[in-house]
């Protein structure tokens, strides 16, 4: 079996990434991937269309590699990058199950990349693969973490800190960090990956505010 050196191990960062909705995950991935070192290989599986005829994608984006289904998951990443290349993966394994391409197709491709082997694939002009018309910022909750904090698809640079965030009929002020608000109080802040995140000091924003994955947000000010 191929041995992957420790530094090349691909980390399962969001095992609870939004299921069924590659668009939410696309904004999450675009915010988190740039923290990783060059040559990192990302194996990304949010794949509600497995078994249909969606393509298999391999990307190189600003020096990092991404392997997964071509269903929008890499769209935000490719649009925001300085330099992106896109390949359709032509290689197919001897046995390809109908429902688990993560195991049968994408993971072996990622493992071979880690060994320095490029799979059989065909490069495509980026503009033929990137879906046009996606918003620069996605004004929705794209992830709720296990503390109940709700990340949005909006980068904090898009809002002044004076802005009041509206979510589920409630209006939420900015704070720089958790300790900047009394326990139990809600706020929004720029999280460590640059996203607008809704939180409650020493509490759960999801329960306190009734926010859930996909909820729309707005802001004023």
| 51 vs 216, beta carbon nearer its own copies | 51
CB of 169 to its own copies, least distance (A): 26
- Residue environment code for 184-213, b if the CB has 16+ CB neighbours within 10 A, otherwise e: ebbbbbbbebebbbbbbbebbbbebbebeb
Alpha carbon distance 41, 26 (integer Å) = 16
Q: Which residues bind its own copies (CB under 8 A)?
A: 1-7, 9, 15-16, 19-20, 35, 37, 48-52, 97-100, 103-104, 146-147, 176-180, 189-192, 201-202
Which residues partner with 152 through β-bridges? Answer: 141
Question: How far is CA 7 from each of CA 36, 64, 104, 139, rounded to the nearest angstrom?
Answer: 11, 14, 23, 35
CB of 79 to its own copies, least distance (A): 24
Alpha carbon distance 36, 65 (integer Å) = 11
| 65 vs 189, beta carbon nearer its own copies | 189
CB of 134 to its own copies, least distance (A): 21
| 102 vs 153, beta carbon nearer its own copies | 102
| 63 vs 122, beta carbon nearer its own copies | 63
């Amino acid at each position: 079996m191929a041995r992957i050196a420790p530094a090349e191990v691909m980390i399962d960062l969001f095992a609870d990434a939004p299921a069924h909705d590659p668009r939410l995950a696309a904004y999450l991935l675009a915010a988190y991937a740039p923290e990783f070192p060059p040559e990192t290989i990302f194996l990304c599986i949010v794949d509600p269309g497995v078994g249909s005829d969606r393509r298999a994608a391999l990307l190189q984006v600003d020096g990092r590699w991404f392997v997964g289904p071509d269903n929008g998951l890499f769209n935000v990443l490719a649009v925001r990058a300085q330099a992106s290349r896109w390949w359709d993966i032509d290689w197919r394994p001897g046995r390809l199950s109908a429902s688990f391409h993560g195991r049968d197709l994408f993971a072996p491709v990622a493992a071979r990349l880690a060994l320095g082997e490029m799979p059989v694939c065909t490069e495509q002009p980026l503009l033929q693969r990137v879906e046009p018309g996606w918003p620069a910022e996605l004004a929705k909750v794209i992830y709720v973490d296990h503390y109940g904090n709700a990340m949005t698809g909006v980068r904090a640079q898009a809002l002044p800190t004076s802005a009041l965030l509206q979510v589920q009929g409630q209006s939420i002020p900015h704070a720089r960090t958790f300790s900047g608000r009394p326990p139990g109080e809600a706020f929004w802040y720029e999280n460590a990956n640059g996203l607008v995140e809704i939180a409650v000091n020493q509490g759960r924003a999801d329960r306190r505010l009734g926010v859930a994955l996909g909820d729309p947000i707005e802001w004023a000010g």
